[in-house]
Amino acid sequence: MTAPRSGHGVGASLRRKEDARFLLGRGRYVGDIRPAGTLEVAFLRSPVAHARLLGVTKPAGAEQRVFVAADLPEIGPIRANSALPGFRVSEQPALAQGKLRHVGEVIAACVAPSRAEAEDLVAACELDYAALPVVSDMLAARAPGAPLIHEHWPDNAFLETRRDEDLSDLDAVAAAKVVRRLRTARQSMAPIEGRGVLAEWDPRLEQLVVTTATQQPHVTKTGLAECLGLDEGQIRVVSPDVGGGFGYKAILLAEELACAALAMRLGRPVRWLEDRLEQLTANANCREHHYEVTAWADAGGKLLGVEVNATVDAGAYSAYPFSACLEAAQIGSIFPGPYTLPRFRFHTVSACTNKPPILPYRGVARTGVCYAMETTLDALARQLKLPPEQVRQANLVPPEAMPYRNLVGKVFDSGDYPEALRRAVAAVDVAGIRARQAAGEAVGFGLAVFCEQGAHGTSVYHGWGIPFVPGFEQAQARFTPDGVLEIRTGVHSHGQGLETTLAQVAHQILGVDPARVRVVHGDTALTPYSTGTWGSRAMVMAGGAVAEACTQLGERALAIGAALLQAPRAACVLRDGAVHAGEAKVTLDQVARTWFRSPQNLPADVDRGGLEVTAGYRPDPDTGTHSYAAHAVVAKVDTETGCVTLESYVIVEDGGTLVNPMIVDGQVLGGTAQGIGTALYEEMPFDSEGQPLAGTLADYLLPGATEVPDIRIDHMETPSPWTRFGQKGIGESGAIGPPAAILNAINDALAGRGAEVLDLPATPARVLAAIERALA
Amino acid sequence: MKPAAFTYARPADWNAALALLGEGARPVAGGQSLGPMLNLRLALPEAVADLRHLPGYAGVELAGEVVRIGAGTTHAAIEDGAVPGRLGEILASVARRIAYRPVRNRGTIGGSFAHADPAADWVAVLPAFPGHAVLLGPQGERRVPLAGFVLGVFETALRADELLRAIELPVLPQATRWGHWKFCRKPGEFSKATACLLAVPGAAPRAVLAALDAAPLVLADAAALRAAPAAEAARLVATLGLEDPWRASLARVALRHAAEAAA
C-alpha cells in the first residue's frame, strides 16, 4: 500500500465533510427528535444547597405524573469509584433521597405533554425540607467542625494525595523564593447545545433506546445497565449530532436514568431537554481550584524545588465515570509541566462541598495547574529581575533528553519545548512593550508554556480504577456492495471533525475518495465498544484503529483484486483506490461488487471474513502523547475601569503530525476562546448559602466574537514516535494556556504599580481591587 | 424556562388596550425584557396585552419644533434613521449600542423606558432631553417631563391604568454637543455605568448618570461638569455613597468621558 497522490490523506486541510449539514441547519440533535406521543419531563430541583429532604407533596390530581425516588426504586445509585487508596465513594441517587446536597439536585420528575405543562407541575409541587448548615467553600469544607455532607465520612474529602520530600534546606541556598495563593473560579461549561435525553422502550427488541447528547455512548450504556439492572444488550444508546461536549457530556446523568425508567414504566417516549437555567445553575461544575505554591530558584532562574498544596472543589458527588478525584489527584503528576523539576512536594485534596459534582472540562486539571505554575515562574522572574522567557528556558526539558521521564514518572514522547518558546517570544515585539511600559503605559507581556498529555490508555487509567479503563480502541472498516467504504467507530464527533479526519486516514490507507468514505459513529448498535471521545484521544486511538482496520481490509481486497487480474498477489499493489498489476488495474468498487454480487469470480482461497474487518489498536507505550505549546500575550489594562484588552495573541503549538491542520487550527482557536473565558470572564459565584448567583448568560459572561482577538498560530510538527502517523492528542491544548499567559501579561502590565492579580477570572473589579490594594 | 399559562390579547385600538389594562393585563411591546421574565417565571401575569398593533404605536412624526416618537418605535428603526436631524443622529448613536441587532429589531423605545430597568439605555439617556413622556389613561393624555418619568428601579410615573404612548423631544440645532459613554464588557451585557451630557446652544447643559441600581441621577445644569469633567465627576460620584469601589470608579469614568465628548 502506498500513500495516495490525491492530497486528501493525512496532512491535508480537507474541508469538513460534515459542514454541509451544520452550515445549512440540517444537523439533527436530541431537541430535533420528538416521536409521536412523547412526554416531556421537567425536574423539580433542590432550591437549597444542604437540607434534610422531608417530603414532596404532589399536586392534587397529578399524583401519577410526578415521580420521586420512592416511585422509581428500580433506579440504583450512581457510584463512581476510584481505586486510588483512601478514595471515598459517594452514593448519588438519581432522584434525591433523604438529603439534598446541592442547589439543582434532582428531586422529582414531572411528565406532561409539553414542557410548559411539566413546569407547571414542578411549580405546583410542595417541597418539605429542613435546612442544614452549608459548605459553600472548599477551604471551609476542611475546617474543623465543618458540617459533613456525607455524614458517615470522617471529613469532607473524597481523596487526599501526597508526595513527601523534605525541602527545608532550600531557603538557605535559593536566590529567590516566592509563595503564592491562587484561586480559579467555578465555571459552568457552556456548549451551545445543552444536554438532552429521549428514552423509548422498543417492545419488539425488548430494548431501551436512549438518544442522548453524550461524548461516550458506550460508557453511558454500561452506566445505564449498572444502575437500572438491565443487560447491556437491552440498551441501545444513540448520540446524534451533539452541539459541543468539552467534558460536559462525558457523564452518566441522573436525568438519563430518570427518563429511562419513566419510558419503561409509562411505555411512551420520554424526553428532557436541559434549559439554560439548569445548565448554568444546576451544573456549575468545573475548574474551581485553590493553590498554595512555594518555589525556590537559583540566581539563573533554575528551579531548585516546588511545594504545592492544592485543593479542588469537587462538589457533592463523584460523577460517573470520571470520579470526584480526576482533577485533584492529577495535580501532583502534572504540576512539573514541561520542566525538569529536581525536587517536589505536594499535597492535594478533592474537597466535598454543597455544589454540583465536578466534571473534567477541556484541559481538565491542566488549566489550573498551568495557571499556578506559570504565574509562579513569572513571580520568580520578577523577583530575580530576569526576563520571563529566560527563567523558562532555564528549566524546560531539552529536546535531546526526549523521550524524557520526569521525577513523578511522566514520560514525554518527543518535541523541542525551548524552540516553541523561542518562536513565541520572537513573534512579539517585546522591546516595544518595554518601551511603552517605560513611558508609563499599563501594557504587559505574558507567557505560558505547557504540555498536554493526551490519549493516555490502559497503563495510566488502570491505576485510577475509575468505572472504565480504556483498552484497545476498535474500528470497523467495511465495503458496501457498491464500493462505499464504511468506517464504524465508537468515539463520537461533536465538533472535532472526525467524519472528515477518519475518512482522511482511511483514504491514506486505501485510497478511497473521502467523499465515498462514510464515518458512522454515535450509536452503540452500530459501532464497536469504545470509551468515547475525551482526553484528546480520538485522533490517536480511533485514527490508529481505522488505519489498522483499513490495512487489514486492504489485504483482503488485494487478494480478490489479484485474482481478478489473474496476477500473482506479490505482483499487485493497492494504490489510489484500485489494485494494480503492472498496467492492469481493478478498482475497489469492482472488488466489492465481486465479493457481494459475483462471488462466482472469487478465488477459491478467499478470506471468508469478506470485506468487513474489525481491528484493535493501542500505541505502545500507551502512556499518552504529549503535545505542547507556548502562548505569548500582549495585554493592556485600563487602570480606571479594570478592563483588559488583548492586543496580541500568539500560539506556537506542536501536535505531532497534523492529520488535518485546518481542523487543528479550529481546535486550538476554540479552546483558546474558552481559555480566554476562564482568564477574564467566566465565573459562577456562589453565596454563603451555596446559591449560584448567575442565572442567565447576561450574568455569566462568555467571550464572544468581539472578545476574542485575532490569534496567530505557528505549528511545529514533531511526530510522536509511538503513534500510527506520529499524531498527538491536541484537542484541549488551547484551553490550557490562556489564563496563565493572560494573567502574566496583566501582572507584567501592573508590575510598575506594584499590583498583582491572583484570582481568576481577572474581572475589571478584581483588577481594580489589585491596583487599589497596591496603592493602599 | 417555559412561561406559566397566560391569556394573550392583541387590542385593536387604544381604548381596548386601556380596557385590558383595567382588567389587570400586563402590557408588552417588543418583549425583550418581559419575554425572558415570562420564561424564567419571574413575571406571572394572568393576561398579556400585546400593544404592537395599535394604530400609531410605532413611527415618528414632526410637529413644529417637536418630534413625537411612538412608544412602539423599535431601537432598530431609530438606529436606521427614523428620527430626522441632529436629534436623530444622537438617538441613532445610542440605539446602535443597545444589545444586539436581533434585540433592537424587536425592542422598543417605549417598552424599554416604561420597563425602567436601571441599566437600560433609554432610561439613561432620555432624562437628559427637555422633552416629555406622553401617557395615556382613561382620562386621556398627560405629559410628564422625561427627567421625572423614571422614579426608581422598575418604577415609573405610569399609573396602573396608563400606557406610555409616545416620547416627545425637541428638534435640536445642528450645533448641539453630545457625549455618551457606557460600560459593557461585551455587547449585550447590562451596563454597569452609563452617562450622557447634552449641550444645546443657548441652554444649560444637562447630564445623566445611570446604571446605578437606582433611579438615574439627572443634572439639570451640568455646566460645572462640562467645565471640569474629572474633578466634578469625582465630586458628584462621592455624593452618591456607592459601596462598590469599582462601580464608583466606573461612574466617575462614565461622567468624565461623557462630559469630555460633549466639550
Query: Domain-by-domain residue ranges, chain B?
Result: 7-53, 60-170, 177-261
Q: Strands, E, within A225-324: which ranges?
A: 235-238, 270-273, 289-297, 303-313
How close B126 comes to chain A (CA, Å)?
Answer: 24
Query: For residue A466, what pLDDT is reported?
Result: 87
What are the DSSP calls for A364-420, one per residue?
TTHHHHHHHHHHHHHHHHHHHT--HHHHHHTTBPPGGG-SEE-TTS-EE-S--HHHH
Domain at B177-261: CATH architecture: 2-Layer Sandwich (3.30)
Query: For residue A677, what pLDDT is reported?
Result: 98
- pTM of the predicted protein model: 0.97
Report the distance separating Cα A429 and Cα A728, nearest Å: 31
> How are strands ordered across the β-sheet holding B163-170?
B60-63, B66-70, B163-170, B132-137, B140-145
Amino acid found at A473: E
A768 interfacial to chain B (CB closer than 8 Å): yes
Query: For residue B70, what pLDDT is reported?
Result: 98
Residue A167: pLDDT band with limits 50, 70, 90:
very high
Nearest by CB to residue A116, choosing from B2, B40, B185, is B2
Q: Strands, E, within A241-352: which ranges?
A: 270-273, 289-297, 303-313, 344-351
What are the DSSP calls for A534-589, one per residue?
-TT-HHHHHHHHHHHHHHHHHHHHHHHHHHHHT--GGG-EEETTEEEETTEEEEHH
Query: For residue A5, what pLDDT is reported?
Result: 61
CATH number for the domain running over B7-53: 3.30.43.10
3-state secondary structure of A101: coil
Average pLDDT over residues A397-405: 97
Q: Is the peptide bond preceding residue B118 cis, with omega within 30 degrees of 0?
A: no
How close A164 comes to chain B (CA, Å)?
Answer: 43
A646 interfacial to chain B (CB closer than 8 Å): no
Tell me the chain A residues in contact with residue B4 when contact means C-beta distances shorter than 8 Å. Answer: 116, 119-120, 123
Best of A45, A115, A768, A773 to substitute, by most chain B Cβ atoms within 10 angstroms, is A768
Query: For residue A750, what pLDDT is reported?
Result: 98
Ramachandran quadrant class, A265 (left: phi over 0; alpha: psi -120 to 50; beta: rest): alpha
Please give the radius of gyration of chain B, using alpha carbons only, rounded to the nearest integer.
18
CB contact under 8 A, B246 and A768: yes
B41 interfacial to chain A (CB closer than 8 Å): yes
Report the distance separating Cα A144 and Cα A141, nearest Å: 8
B102 interfacial to chain A (CB closer than 8 Å): no
Q: Which residues pair with A307 in a beta bridge?
A: A294, A345
Judged against a pLDDT cut of 80, whether residue A524 lies above it is answered with yes
Judged against a pLDDT cut of 90, whether residue B213 lies above it is answered with no
Tell me the chain B residues in contact with residue A114 when contact means C-beta distances shorter than 8 Å. Answer: 2
Query: For residue B101, what pLDDT is reported?
Result: 96
Candidate from A117-121, A214-218, B209-213 with smallest mean pLDDT: B209-213
Which residue from B minimizes the CA distance to A702? B186
A426 interfacial to chain B (CB closer than 8 Å): no
Residue A6: pLDDT band with limits 50, 70, 90:
confident
3-state secondary structure of A210: strand
For A84, residues 6+ apart whose C-beta sits below 8 A from its C-beta are A159, A161, A325, A329, A463, A464, A465
Judged against a pLDDT cut of 90, whether residue B146 lies above it is answered with yes
Q: Which residues pair with A725 in a beta bridge?
A: none
Closest C-alpha to A379, from A762, A774, A754: A754
B3 interfacial to chain A (CB closer than 8 Å): yes
A706 interfacial to chain B (CB closer than 8 Å): yes
CB contact under 8 A, B185 and A681: yes
Name the strand (E) or helix (H) holding A613.
Answer: strand A612-617
How close A697 comes to chain B (CA, Å)?
Answer: 9
- ipTM, two decimals, is 0.95
- Tens of pLDDT along A601-654? 999 999 999 999 999 999 999 999 999 999 999 999 999 999 999 999 999 999
Query: For residue A4, what pLDDT is reported?
Result: 64
CB contact under 8 A, B41 and A119: yes
Q: DSSP code of A601?
A: G
Asked if B186 and A701 touch (Cβ cutoff 8 Å), the reply is yes
Sign of the four-CA dihedral B142, B145, B149, B151: negative
Judged against a pLDDT cut of 80, whether residue B157 lies above it is answered with yes
Tell me the chain A residues in contact with residue B250 when contact means C-beta distances shorter than 8 Å. Answer: 641, 764
Nearest by CB to residue B188, choosing from A681, A695, A698, is A698
Counting residues of chain A whose pLDDT is more than 90, the rounded percentage is 97
How close A776 comes to chain B (CA, Å)?
Answer: 13
Fold of B60-170: 3.30.465
- Tens of pLDDT along A254-309? 999 999 999 999 999 999 999 999 999 998 899 999 999 999 999 999 999 999 99
Nearest by CB to residue B246, choosing from A277, A642, A695, is A642
How close A768 comes to chain B (CA, Å)?
Answer: 7
Query: For residue A521, what pLDDT is reported?
Result: 98
B100 interfacial to chain A (CB closer than 8 Å): no
Query: For residue A656, what pLDDT is reported?
Result: 97
CB contact under 8 A, A769 and B246: yes
- Tens of pLDDT along A80-109? 999 999 999 999 999 999 999 999 999 999
Query: For residue B80, what pLDDT is reported?
Result: 98
CB contact under 8 A, A698 and B40: no
Query: For residue A464, what pLDDT is reported?
Result: 85
Query: For residue A557, what pLDDT is reported?
Result: 97
- Tens of pLDDT along B39-72? 999 999 999 999 999 999 999 999 999 999 999 9
For A335, residues 6+ apart whose C-beta sits below 8 A from its C-beta are A306, A308, A310, A344, A346, A369, A372, A373
Tell me the chain B residues in contact with residue A43 when contact means C-beta distances shorter than 8 Å. Answer: none
CB contact under 8 A, B249 and A643: no
CB contact under 8 A, A116 and B190: no
Best of A271, A275, A280, A641 to substitute, by most chain B Cβ atoms within 10 angstroms, is A641
CA distances from A468 to A87, A91, A233, A360 (A): 16, 18, 18, 15
Judged against a pLDDT cut of 60, whether residue A3 lies above it is answered with no
Number of cross-chain residue pairs from A and B with Cβ atoms under 8 Å apart = 58
Tell me the chain B residues in contact with residue A640 when contact means C-beta distances shorter than 8 Å. Answer: 249, 252-253
Across chain A, mean pLDDT equals 96
Report the distance separating Cα A600 and Cα A588, nearest Å: 17
Judged against a pLDDT cut of 80, whether residue B205 lies above it is answered with yes
Average pLDDT over residues A19-45: 97
Which residue from B minimizes the CA distance to A698? B189
Asked if A305 and A344 touch (Cβ cutoff 8 Å), the reply is yes
CB contact under 8 A, B245 and A704: no
Residue A2: pLDDT band with limits 50, 70, 90:
low
Average pLDDT over residues A314-324: 96
Tell me the chain B residues in contact with residue A276 when contact means C-beta distances shorter than 8 Å. Answer: 1
A704 interfacial to chain B (CB closer than 8 Å): yes
- What domains appear along chain A, each with residue ranges and CATH number? 19-28+472-617 (3.30.365.10), 33-132+195-242+249-282 (3.90.1170.50), 363-454+625-775 (3.30.365.10)
Tell me the chain B residues in contact with residue A765 when contact means C-beta distances shorter than 8 Å. Answer: 244, 246
CB contact under 8 A, A119 and B4: yes
